[in-house]
Amino acid sequence: MNKSGKRVIPIYAMIFALGFSLFASAQSRKQERDQRENHKEVTKRVPTREVTTHTTVNRRTETRPTVARQPERRPTVTRQTETRVTVNRTTNRNSVVKYPSNRPVYRPKGMAVNRRPYHRPPIVYRGRKFYTYHKYYAHPLTTFSYGPRWHPIGFFVSSLIGAAIVIDVASMHYHYSDGVFYAPYNNGYRVVPPPPGAYVPSIPEGFQQLSVGGQPYYYFGGAFYIFNGNEYEVVQAPAGGVVYNLPQGSSQVQADNYSYVMYNGTYYQPIQINGQDAYEVVEIEQ
C-alpha cells in the first residue's frame, strides 16, 4: 500500500467514530424524551391531591377570676338518744325487774319486787282492791266439761275406781283420779279442792300450759300445777294467769259494775284476747 492509502484509513476511522458518537447521542436524547413523555402521561392519569394547609391561630388564654368558695354551712341537728328500758325477764326471785317510769304503777301490799307491776288502777269494791293486767271485757259465762270422769267440787261418789292413788298432804289422806281430788265422806267420797303442795304423777290430756312471770304453769279443771322434779305440784292460782276454760261449778260474782267469775275461792275477770273470750286470775288486796 502506498503512503496516500495509509493516510485515508485514519480519516475514515475518525469519520466512523464521529458518526457513531452522534448516533449514540441522538439515541440517548430520544430515550430521555420518551421518558419525559411517559412521565407526563402518568402524571395526567394520577389525580393531584390538594394539600390542606391549617392556619395556626394563636388563641389567647382566658384568665378567669378565682372565686373563693366558702364551705356550705349546714345547721347542726341535735338528735336525742332514745332511752330504752331494759326489762329483766329472769326468773330469779331476788332480782328486781325494771319497767318504764312514764306509766303509772300499782303494787298491792306484799307484792314481790320481781313481779310485773300493774298499770291499770284497781277496782275498789267493799274495801277490797281488784288488780288485773288486762282490760275488763264482759262476755257470757260458759262452763267447760272436762269429761265424764271429771267432777266439780262437792260432787259425791259412793266408790272410786281402782286407778285412784292415795296422796298424803299435811296429815290428810286424799285420793286422786283423772285430775280430781277426793276425800272420804259419809261412807263414800266427796270432791274437794286440790290441796296446794300435793304431788301427782300426771295430768289428764287437755290441760293448758301458760306462763306467768317466766314461770310455766299447767292448768286443768280449775287447778294449777308446776312441774317439780318428776311430778306435778299443786299450787295456788297465779295472779295474772290467763285461762280460756272454767269448769262446772263456777259462779258469777258482782262487784259494783263488774261481774267476776269465782271458782274454788279464786276470782277471774272476763277479758278478751285476739277476739277470743278468756279469764284472768284477779289479785285481791283487802
208 in a structural domain: yes
Query: How many angstroms from the chain centroid is the CA of residue 184?
Result: 56
pLDDT of residue 86: 40
pLDDT of residue 4: 53
Digit-coded pLDDT (tens) for 42-73: 555 545 555 455 555 455 555 565 556 665 66
pLDDT of residue 106: 92
**Structural domains in the chain (count):** 1
Three-point CA angle 142, 147, 152, nearest 5°? 65
- Phi (first) and psi of residue 36, to 5 degrees: -65, -40
Residue 189 burial (CB count, 10 A): 23
Digit-coded pLDDT (tens) for 163-207: 889 999 988 999 999 999 999 999 999 999 999 999 999 999 999
Place of cell 412521565: 39
Which of 79 and 157 is assigned the larger pLDDT?
A: 157
pLDDT > 50? residue 112 = yes
70 in a structural domain: no
Q: What is the pTM of this model?
A: 0.64
The mean pLDDT value for 19-37 works out to 73
279 in a structural domain: yes
The mean pLDDT value for 109-128 works out to 90
pLDDT of residue 96: 44
| Average pLDDT of the chain to the nearest whole number | 81
pLDDT > 80? residue 118 = yes
- Least confident among 74-83, 162-171, 208-217: 74-83
21 in a structural domain: no
The mean pLDDT value for 224-228 works out to 97
- Least confident among 69-83, 99-113, 174-188, 224-238: 69-83
Q: How far apart are CA 165 and CA 154, in angstroms?
A: 19
Q: Label residue 91 by pLDDT band (50, 70, 90).
A: very low
132 in a structural domain: yes
The mean pLDDT value for 126-154 works out to 94
pLDDT of residue 279: 98
pLDDT > 90? residue 78 = no
8 in a structural domain: no
52 in a structural domain: no
**Residue 254 domain boundaries:** 123-146+200-285
Residue 265, judged by CB atoms within 10 A of its CB (0-12, 13-18, 19+), counts as exposed
pLDDT of residue 280: 98
pLDDT of residue 219: 98
Mode of pairing for the β-strands spanning 199-200 and 231-235? antiparallel
pLDDT > 50? residue 105 = yes
- Least confident among 17-21, 47-51, 141-145: 47-51
The mean pLDDT value for 82-104 works out to 48
pLDDT of residue 73: 64
pLDDT of residue 16: 73
184 in a structural domain: no
Place of cell 286422786: 176
Mode of pairing for the β-strands spanning 276-281 and 242-243? antiparallel
